[in-house]
Amino acid sequence: MTQHSPDSSVNYRDVGVAFLQNADKCHPGSWVICQSQDTDGKKYTYIAQVTEILQSSDSNEEQEQKAEFLVVQYGDVLQSHPTYKMWQLVFHILSPSRQDAQCTVNIQHNCHDNKCTIELGVVAMQEREKSSDRKFIVKHLNPSDFILNTS
Ligand SMILES: [Zn+2]
């Protein structure tokens, strides 16, 4: 758990964007590397997906649009499931401070191993008229299987 966490007596609003320690811009949906401390002061690092970006409504930083906390979700391997014979995942919601978030990371779906397909999308409507533009869309299978893109 993080040492600094949102105060339940304070009203927060979702400001939708934050600039991290290395000046990376993140928003809900971004993947970030966070470094937090547990209750014993031991640092731990994890990769998580941002769901919200919080700033207290009465914050002095409000005019500067500086987010104070992120709300993130990360998955952790729990144990091997006896019936499925596969790893059970548990998802945690954490609220690291903006200072805990080091940088954004590029996460891509593992399309190769999941044999994701490319399909022609539905006809898009543009200004109430059918457009002839049909876009190719990747249909991701097993949507929680990701690759950390370090290239
Ligand atoms: Zn895919």
Q: Where are the domains of the chain?
A: 1-105, 107-151
Fold of 1-105: SH3 type barrels. (2.30.30)
pLDDT of residue 84: 84
**pLDDT > 50? residue 36:** yes
CA 149–ligand 1 middle distance (angstroms): 14
CA 97–ligand 1 middle distance (angstroms): 31
Cα–Cα distances (Å) from 75 to 14, 53, 105, 151, in that order, read 23, 19, 16, 23
**pLDDT > 50? residue 37:** yes
pLDDT band at 10 (very low <50, low <70, confident <90, very high): confident
CA 147–ligand 1 middle distance (angstroms): 10
Identify whether the C-beta of residue 101 lies closer than 8 Å to the C-beta of residue 20: yes
CA 102–ligand 1 middle distance (angstroms): 27
* Six-digit token string for 86: 């596969």
CA 88–ligand 1 middle distance (angstroms): 21
